[in-house]
Each structure stands twice: as structure tokens, then as C-alpha cells.
Amino acid sequence: MASHKNSGQKTICVHTGETPDKQFRGAISPIYMASSYEFMEVDVKRYPRYFNTPNQEFLSKKIAQLEHSEGAMIFSSGMAAISTTLLAFLGSGDHIVLQKDIYGGTRNLVEEQFDRYGIEYTFTSGLYVNDFECCIQPNTKLIYIETPSNPLLKIVDIAAIANLAKSHNILSVIDNTFATPIIQRPIDFGIDIVLHSATKYFGGHSDISAGALAAKQEHIDTVWNLGKNLGGNLSDFMVWMLERSMKTLSVRVKAQQKNAKKLAKKLQKNKYVDTVYYPGLKSHPNYELAKKQMNGFGAMLSFKFIDGIDSEQFLKALKLIKPSMSLAGIESTMLLPSRTSHALLSPEERADQGICDGLIRFSVGMENSDDLLIDITMHCTRRFNKVCRFRNV
């Protein structure tokens, strides 16, 4: 397989990690669906749950090359990647420091399960490096961040966290789902392990559930050791689908990001909108930091309306943008985090993170931005006027 080490990201997306078709020389990867492989005269004993079938092995190379890591692993979901990684490095009596604002499912994993394993945890009170430092204890083994964060697109200083972790001999782990390696490569800043919900931008078409990890081989070996016991591998057909999807990762993310920037600016000027959360806006408190560590600002944004406008009514009035769960498909979607990704948090926990009930998270797709804008403004303005008059706004 050609390594494409010095190639651009688009070339890596298209070509790295193609499973060779030596027999027929087809232009794309064949799918090896075998769950049983020769064991006698071979160097590697292959089995799906060992994360080493041909399709898994080759797609891992694409992910590793994009993330600038030594290796990668593919899982059946983002949570399979996250839970396997955390449990591989943490045991009874260990402590983890986690960013206050992380994906609700990750928080649930920690709060619902870690006590049973005797793993101690602390969520930071803020997102500055000092907020992490003051949580470190003698038994802290791992620092976990997610930037940009879900759903308020807060930005954490990746290099500062990586340095903090190194100075305390602690492992640093990041959820890079929102940015993708097209926009942000945390390993270049010194982060040890990068995790993904590949269900999102890696898949990109809202039809794949998958997860991924990128790290140096030593860490991959540790995660693999537990991963083969837990069995969170992805089926080879879905691995093949993911490889196909990732061929367009770079162009999709860049097209979606361009739309997001334009729409964030338009929303900011809309008289019904109170606040827009997008790191690419100069008004974002971490705009400079985002500019420093990201190559662009991503395609996710959130916003809240002025008082008196009902977000649910707004979502119902949309004609083009789908009010639906998840994110990062080529189609634009919106949701209410308070009723979906962060529904299991208590109202106090949501309020503490700044997530109000009416907050709308907008996953910007790659439709024509003007059409998206018309959907947001024209169709909804009629409805807004009714709602607004009704509520005396």
C-alpha cells in the first residue's frame, strides 16, 4: 500500500487505507467479510474482534495518517471507543479529570458506571488550564477534553492541556469528533490519544455507527488488550462503508464549514436571535485560541432566541433543515440538546454548563447556504411574527 505520507489531506482521504485487490485490481477496496482466517502458516492471526481483519487494518492507516498518529483502531460506536479507552487506562483507585462540558453520553458513562469500578473522577469547574490543574490528585492517571465542546462550541487550549498532563506524567485524551483531523490535529500539540464518534463526520451521511481511536502503538496495544475482551469492533461491511465515506471527508468538512461560517454571521444579525455560539465569530470568547489551534472553525454552531420565541415552534416550521438527532451529516439538522444529547443531565447541571432549554444546536450541511438561510428566515419569520405578537415580544 502506498503510504501517501507527504500527500495532502484530500489525497490521504481518497487513497490511504485502500485494501489492496491483488486478484482483480479493482479501483476500490474489496470487502473481506471472513470471520475465520487461516491460523497455521501465517504471521498474524486475524479475527474481527482482534481489530485486524484486512478492511479494519487498512482503514486504520487512513485514520492514523490523518491524525498524525502511529496507529488507529476502529470501533462499533464512538462510545465503544471512549469506554474501551477509559477502562483500559483506569482501574480501581485511579482518578480522572474531565472537562466540565463534554458530550452527555460520555458524562453518563462516568457518572453511571465509574463508581462500580472504583474509579474516582472530577469534572472541572471551568475550561482554563488552571481549572484542570487544581483537580489533579496524586492518583490522577488521565485528563479528558473535548474541543470544540458539544453543544456550546467552547474551546480548550489543547497544547496547554497536553503540557500540563506531561508535567504530571498523566495521559491526555481528546474527543476530536466536532473538529475532525481536517481542522484540528491534537497529536501535533502533544495529546496522547484522539477519540472520535465516527458516526459523525467520518461517516458523514447519517447511516453509519462507528468510533475510532488514534495514538502511538504503545497506547493502541493497551486499548487493544481490553478491546479484544469487550468486543466493540465494527463489522467489516461497515468498515468498508466508512472507508468509502472517508474518501470525501476533507471536501465535505470544508464545504460544511464554509456554510456554517456564513450562517453564523447571518444568524448573529437576525433580530430574533439572542446569542450565536460559533468559534469563528470574533465575538466568541475563544476566537483567537480557536484560530491558533484549528484550521478553520468547524461546521457546528448553536444559538438561542430572544425571550418569547419558542424553539420547538421554530423547529416545526422548518422545511429544509431536519429537526433530528445526531450531527455532521451532509444534510443540515437542528436539535434541542436539553431534549436529546444532554437530556440525562439534571436541569442544574445543564444550567451550570450554560445549556438553556431553548438552545438549538445546528449541524450545518452542504446544501446551498442561501437555501438554508431562506429556511431559517423566510419560513420561520412568518411563524415568528405570530409567536412574537402572541407573546408581546
**Among all residues, which ones are annotated catalytic?**
49, 103, 175, 200
CA 72 to centroid of chain Cα atoms = 16
Taking the complex as a whole, how short is the minimal distance between the CB of residue 32 and ligand PLP, in angstroms? Answer: 24
Backbone angles phi, psi at 249, to 5 degrees: -55, -50
DSSP class per residue in 345-366: S-HHHHHHHT--TT-EEEE--S
Q: Between residue 245 and residue 264, which ones bind ligand PLP under the rule CB under 6 A? A: none
Total site size for ligand PLP, rule CB under 6 A: 16
Interface pick for ligand PLP out of 55, 69, 77, 259 (rule CB under 6 A): 77
Q: Which three cell numbers stand for residue 26?
A: 479493482
- Asked if 210 contacts 224 with a C-beta cutoff of 8 angstroms, the reply is no
- Closest CB to ligand PLP among 235 and 377? 235
- On the question of a cis peptide bond just before residue 151, with omega within 30 degrees of 0, the verdict is yes
- Closest CB to ligand PLP among 313 and 326? 326
Q: Which three cell numbers stand for residue 268?
A: 448573529
Backbone angles phi, psi at 85, to 5 degrees: -65, -50
Q: Is 54 helix (H, G, I), strand (E, B) or coil?
A: helix
Taking the complex as a whole, how short is the minimal distance between the CB of residue 308 and ligand PLP, in angstroms? Answer: 30
Stretch that binds ligand PLP, among 52-60, 72-80, 272-280, 283-291 (CB under 6 A): 72-80
- Closest CB to ligand PLP among 19 and 106? 106
Q: Between residue 273 and residue 332, which ones bind ligand PLP under the rule CB under 6 A? A: 326
Does 338 help bind ligand PLP (rule: CB under 6 A)?
no
Does 83 help bind ligand PLP (rule: CB under 6 A)?
no
Taking residue 385's Cβ as centre, other Cβ atoms within 10 Å add up to 12
Interface pick for ligand PLP out of 65, 197, 332, 363 (rule CB under 6 A): 197
Taking the complex as a whole, how short is the minimal distance between the CB of residue 177 and ligand PLP, in angstroms? Answer: 4
Stretch that binds ligand PLP, among 73-81, 186-194, 277-285, 303-311 (CB under 6 A): 73-81
Interface pick for ligand PLP out of 150, 172, 302, 333 (rule CB under 6 A): 150
Taking the complex as a whole, how short is the minimal distance between the CB of residue 292 and ligand PLP, in angstroms? Answer: 21
Taking the complex as a whole, how short is the minimal distance between the CB of residue 294 and ligand PLP, in angstroms? Answer: 15
Instruction: Tell me how far apart the alpha carbons of residues 103 and 324 are, in angstroms, rounded to a whole number.
Output: 17
Taking residue 339's Cβ as centre, other Cβ atoms within 10 Å add up to 12
Determine the Cα angle at 201 with ends 196 and 205, to 5°: 130
Does 211 help bind ligand PLP (rule: CB under 6 A)?
yes
Interface pick for ligand PLP out of 30, 105, 190, 358 (rule CB under 6 A): 105
Among the listed residues 176, 172, 136, 135, the one whose alpha carbon sits nearest the alpha carbon of residue 155: 176
Does 175 help bind ligand PLP (rule: CB under 6 A)?
yes
Taking the complex as a whole, how short is the minimal distance between the CB of residue 161 and ligand PLP, in angstroms? Answer: 17
Instruction: Tell me how far apart the alpha carbons of residues 56 and 227 are, in angstroms, rounded to a whole number.
Output: 14
Name every residue whose Cβ is closer than 8 Å to that of residue 387 and which is 6 or more positions away in sequence.
308, 309, 310, 313, 393
Residue nearest to ligand PLP as judged by C-beta position: 78
**Residue 145, CB-side half-sphere exposure with 13 Å CA sphere:** 29
Q: How many residues make up the chain in this entry?
A: 393
- Closest CB to ligand PLP among 54 and 298? 298
User: Which residue type does 128 have?
Assistant: Y
**Residue 14, CB-side half-sphere exposure with 13 Å CA sphere:** 6
Interface pick for ligand PLP out of 177, 206, 250, 363 (rule CB under 6 A): 177
Among the listed residues 274, 259, 282, 392, the one whose alpha carbon sits nearest the alpha carbon of residue 331: 259
Taking the complex as a whole, how short is the minimal distance between the CB of residue 101 and ligand PLP, in angstroms? Answer: 10
Does 344 help bind ligand PLP (rule: CB under 6 A)?
no
Does 184 help bind ligand PLP (rule: CB under 6 A)?
no
Taking the complex as a whole, how short is the minimal distance between the CB of residue 113 and ligand PLP, in angstroms? Answer: 15
Q: Between residue 40 and residue 69, which ones bind ligand PLP under the rule CB under 6 A? A: none
Stretch that binds ligand PLP, among 45-53, 171-179, 235-243, 268-276 (CB under 6 A): 171-179
Task: Classify residue 126 by burial, with Cβ atoms within 10 Å: 0-12, 13-18, 19+.
Answer: middle
Q: Is 209 helix (H, G, I), strand (E, B) or coil?
A: coil
Binding site for ligand PLP (CB under 6 A): 77-79, 103, 105, 146, 150, 175, 177-178, 197, 199, 209, 211, 326, 341
